[in-house]
Structure 1
Amino acid sequence: MNVNRLTQKLDFQAQALTLRAERQRVIASNIANADTPGYQARDMDFSTALKAATGHLPVAGQMATTQAGHMALPGNASPTATALRYATPSQTNLDSNSVDMDRERASFAENSVKYEATLRFINSHVREMLDAMKSPTQG
């Protein structure tokens, strides 16, 4: 088994963990601005961001890398920025603030659980790789 195949799963989970942390930041920002007049809540389309981050979906405005020697152009949009959307308000507010605290709390809790699950997966994968590298005499 080559090194690329060993690290491929771990790289995917690392990307997912990074995106989960970024989504948590976006949700926390929404919660912090719940009383800010005119604030428009944002959320991340996680699956789109993950596909873009892992190369399974081209990022909008980004040129495809068709050769190993191709370099990224400066100013290309990040996968996170591409997947960031305005949240649809559940009801209209007089101050034009679109933060729905019930939705934000639920999203925050759900994302926290998924972040923790991803972190546990990475830890168990690393533990398995370390156990596989031990000699039979190390037990």
Structure 2
Amino acid sequence: MTHRIINPEGLHDPLPFGYSHVAVTSGELVFIAGQYASDATGQVSTPGFADQVDAAFANLRTALAAAGLELTHVVQLRTHIVDHDLEKLAVLGKAISAIWGDRPPVQTLTGVASLALPGMLFEVDAVAARP
């Protein structure tokens, strides 16, 4: 199976960090790298957890659009939360419900001690399927 790498405009340049944003396969699956609340330089753009969740999903939307897809095409999420607790789970649940309603994609949530950059509290990666 061949694939194509996309680093869309509107997201920071990930190459200095050692990854790409989107991998489109010749088949039906599209893989989106971990998205977080990043500014144009790849640094964390906001300190608050809820704001980071919203910004990460906005970046996920941008990455999917580069592959001609939308959030409704996502079939799997992997979320990573620094110092995970029930309050943060509620914030994430509310965000997911606002996007997918009563049909969210499958998800694995991992509580972690830290993520790639200082101040990063949330990251989400996804697998989407072409219709």
TM-score normalised per structure 1:
0.27
Which protein is richer in strand relative to its size? 2
